[in-house]
Structure formats: C-alpha cells, structure tokens
Chain A
Amino acid sequence: MLEDQWLRIYRETIHPLYGYMAKRTGGNRALTEDIVQESYLRALDSWKNGPPPDAPLAWLKQVARNVLIDCLRRKKWDADPGPAGVDPRAPADEFESLELFLAIASLGRKKARALEAFYFDGLSVREIAGEMAVSERAVEGLLRRARGSLRAVLPEPRPVGGNHV
C-alpha cells in the first residue's frame, strides 16, 4: 500500500466512520475519537504489507464496532461507574446510547445489525432490506424478534446523573 493511497482512504472514510461511531456513543466526543484513532491504527497494522480491502469503510466500521464492544465489556458494569470512558454525570443520552449499544452487541449478529442500522444509523426498513439482501417483510420480522430479545437483556432502568450542571 502506498502512502498516498493510505491517506486518500483516510480522507474518504474519516467523516462517515466518525459519524457511525458517534451515533453509537451518543455523541461522546472523547470516546469516539479514541475508538476512531484505534481503528485506523489497527487498519494500518493490517494493511501495510498488502493491498487494502475493497471496501475499507466497511472494514473500519466493523473494527471500530468491535473495539467499542471490547472497551465497554472490559469495564466493570455496576451502579457506580459509567460505561468505559464516560463520566456517569455525562448527559443521559450518551450513557443510554452506550448501554443500548452494548445490549444490542450481545444479540445475534443479524439482529444486532438490523437494530443498529434502524436505531443508530437511521435507515429505513427498505434500506436495511437492500443492505442485507432480504425482503422488507423479513426485515420487519427480524426487527420485531430483535426488540424482544433486546428487552430481555437490557438492564433495569437506574438513576443516572443526567446533564451535569
């Protein structure tokens, strides 16, 4: 891989990758930046000795998602500390976003993919069907089953700091 090629891939993917990750972290800038940076460093390590993948953005998104899951799972999850890198006094939507993301990540791959696409990326059923190469009806069924599974794994609602004043 050439340096020019590497930097071109970076410039083409940084904004969509950042947006993809920011939606999952509820807009937590520090955490998103850390994850994005780590993803690119892993990409460089993986691609430097050969050609980059055909769809570098998809690769990066997958890696970023895995990095975030690892990051969240490594931290103890109890009433006091918030998700990794997040102050429990952080805005409620950041906290809830990460909690939701971690819960979704614990579901099966297809369910997780459908839920993330619908809730985080804001895709329509039709768009999700196109991406997954299935019918819209199949996506609706998948989302319904996924929500049911999600309800079972989401923790009980607990008080959070909310917006810190």
Chain B
Amino acid sequence: MSDRYEPDPQFVDKLEWQLASEFRRGSRLKPAPGRIAVPRTVVGLSLAAGVLLLGVAATKAADLIKDSWRRKIEVARLETEVKIKRAFLAFTRDAAAKAEDRFSLGLVDEDECLASKRAADRTAIEVRRAGLDLEEAKVSGEAPRNELYAPVVGGRDYVSERLELEREARGFDRDLAQARENRLLRLFELGLVSREELGGSRTSLASEEAALQRIEKRLALRKAFLTGGLSAEELEIQERLAAAEINGRRAQSGVDFLRERLESLRVREAAGQVSGEDVRLARMDLEATQAQLDLALQEIEILKKIR
C-alpha cells in the first residue's frame, strides 16, 4: 500500500519534466511590458549566448565537486573504456588489412573483406564516442547523459555529437548494404542468385536507411528542444512517434518481402523442390513481422491521439 504522505513517483517525474521545460522557456528573452521589443535575430543570438553562459556556469559548478568520489569513479571507468576500445581498434585494423590481402589472393569474397573494413571503421567511431563520454564526465562530474532532453554541458551539446557519430557509423552500414545489393543485382542478372536472395538484401538496405532516418529525426528533435521549440514531454512523444513510424515502414518492407518469399516457396513446394517445413517457417516469419507492423501502427495511433 502506498504511503499517502509520499508523492506518486510518476507525479514526481512528470513535475520535474514540466519544471525543467518551464525553466528553459523562461530562459528565452521576452520583452517586459513597456520595454522595446527585441528583434528575433538578436533573441536567437542571445539565446545561444545564454546557452553558452549556462554551460560555462555549469563547468564552474562541476569544478566545485571535482574532488567527489562519484566523479573519480566515473572518469576512471570511462578512461578504462577508452583504453580497451583503442586496443580493440588496433586489432580490428590488423584484421581488416589481412582480409584485404586474402581478398586480393582470392581466398575470401568481397563481402568478407568489406565486413572486416567496416568493423574497423565502426570501432574507430566507438573510440571517438568513448572519448566524448570521458570529456563530458570530466566536465559534468556525472555519467554521460544521452536523453534528447539532457542539458548542454559546459556549453557543448554532447548528445548531438554522439548522434552525429552514430549517423557516421550507420552510414558505413548503409554503404555496406548498398554495395552488397549492387553486387547481388549483377549476379541476379547473370542468373547466379535467386530473386529471394536479392529481395533479402533489399530489405537489409531498407532497414539501414530506416535507422539513418531515425538518427536524422532525433538530431532534428534535439535541435528543436534546445531552441525551446519543444517541451521535454512533447519531445518524448515526437521521438516515440518517429521511431514507431520508422519501425512501421521497416516492418511493412519486411512483410512485402516475406509475402513474396512465401508465395515463391509454395510454388516450389508444389514442384517438390522444398519441404513443407520450409513453407511453415516462412509463414511464421511473415506472421511475426506482420505482428510487428500491427504493433507499430497501434503505437502510432495512440501517440497521435496524445500529441
């Protein structure tokens, strides 16, 4: 039974959101009655300056707790993470170089060579991200925050910087998927791969593009939040709506592909080329993806009503 003299945790969280949002709204310059209205460009520049000043002030506040044990532990943890990732980067770069040698000798295919290079690129981005987290912890004195409504720290928007790194990483994945699709298309035209295999690579590419779109949307929402265009609550709703819409498109693409695949398998089953088990598994995949699509559509409907 809840204590009637203790606040409901949801109320506490919601009120904190509201108050943080009200604080930020209040930070925007508004002319007091009787004073000269400030042009929008000046307001914009002043807002940016205010954000920087807040960041500088936040840095000074963090200086006051620079000896705290919590900060020391967090910084030590992140320093270790950077060291580990740097060591792993050296390893993946070495593996990528070996894969390239073996590809030039015809011992591995292009896919494997590209995948090794990709792994090295991704690890390089993880090292940069770990470095970013460490810088933030040194300034803020706390664990890095990744919520879109997290404050700017020391005048720097670490959340957006991390999103930009993620975009870069996803860009590599998308390029890899695109390269694979191009190669499979050439092989399909030569009759060396099936339509199904080509369709699978198209779905993977669509998935990578959807992931990139989601990051772009998050960057736009973050920018809108920092300029006071969205409250923290509106931000979360928009973020969830964008994610649901992207998941929905991804699931739709999957459903279309799996439906085609199921039809193709049914024809092949009738000709005795595949077993009933293959058809059954394909039907289960389709049903699971359809369920994901239904869920995404439901979430979109609910969020649009709340918005």
Q: How far is the CA of A163 from the CA of B18 in the complex (A)?
A: 33
How many residues on the B side are at the interface (Cβ–Cβ under 8 A)? 22
Contact of B20 with A by CB under 8 A: yes
How many residues on the A side are at the interface (Cβ–Cβ under 8 A)? 24
Contact of B61 with A by CB under 8 A: yes
Contact of B69 with A by CB under 8 A: no
B151 & A44 in contact (Cβ 8 Å cutoff): no
Most buried by A among B16, B22, B23: B23
Most buried by A among B4, B27, B54: B4
Q: How far is the CA of A45 from the CA of B5 in the complex (A)?
A: 26
For A14, the chain B residues whose CB sits under 8 A away are: 7, 12, 15-16
- Chain A 1-36 interface mask (CB, 8 Å, partner B; 1/0): 011111100110011001100110001010011001
* Contact for B61 among A5, A32, A48, CB less than 8 A: A5
Contact of B19 with A by CB under 8 A: yes
B5 & A7 in contact (Cβ 8 Å cutoff): no
B4 & A29 in contact (Cβ 8 Å cutoff): yes
Contact of A37 with B by CB under 8 A: yes
A37 & B22 in contact (Cβ 8 Å cutoff): no
- Chain B 19-50 interface mask (CB, 8 Å, partner A; 1/0): 11011101100000000000000000000000
Secondary structure at the A interface, as helix, strand, loop or mixed, is: helix
B19 & A33 in contact (Cβ 8 Å cutoff): no
B4 & A27 in contact (Cβ 8 Å cutoff): yes
Q: How far is the CA of A54 from the CA of B11 in the complex (A)?
A: 26
For A3, the chain B residues whose CB sits under 8 A away are: 20, 23-24, 27, 54, 151
Contact of A118 with B by CB under 8 A: no
Chain A, Cβ-Cβ closest to B151: A3
B22 & A18 in contact (Cβ 8 Å cutoff): no
Chain A proximity of B96: nearest CB distance (Å): 43
Query: Contacts A14-B7, A14-B12, A33-B7 known; A6 to B58 CB distance under 8 Å?
Result: no
Chain A, Cβ-Cβ closest to B4: A27
Q: How far is the CA of A103 from the CA of B54 in the complex (A)?
A: 46
For B24, the chain A residues whose CB sits under 8 A away are: 3
A44 & B19 in contact (Cβ 8 Å cutoff): yes
Q: How far is the CA of A36 from the CA of B14 in the complex (A)?
A: 13
For A7, the chain B residues whose CB sits under 8 A away are: 16, 19-20, 23
A6 & B15 in contact (Cβ 8 Å cutoff): no
Chain B proximity of A83: nearest CB distance (Å): 17
A18 & B6 in contact (Cβ 8 Å cutoff): yes
Chain A proximity of B178: nearest CB distance (Å): 42
B20 & A2 in contact (Cβ 8 Å cutoff): no
For B18, the chain A residues whose CB sits under 8 A away are: 37
Chain B proximity of A9: nearest CB distance (Å): 10
Query: Contacts A2-B54, A2-B58 known; A22 to B5 CB distance under 8 Å?
Result: yes
Q: How far is the CA of A48 from the CA of B24 in the complex (A)?
A: 10
A4 & B58 in contact (Cβ 8 Å cutoff): yes
Apart from the given pairs A3-B24, A3-B151, A23-B5, 5 other A-B contacts in the complex at a CB distance below 8 Å: A10-B19, A18-B7, A27-B4, A33-B7, A40-B19
Q: List 9 A-B contacts (CB under 8 A).
A: A3-B24, A3-B54, A10-B19, A27-B4, A33-B8, A36-B7, A40-B19, A44-B23, A48-B26
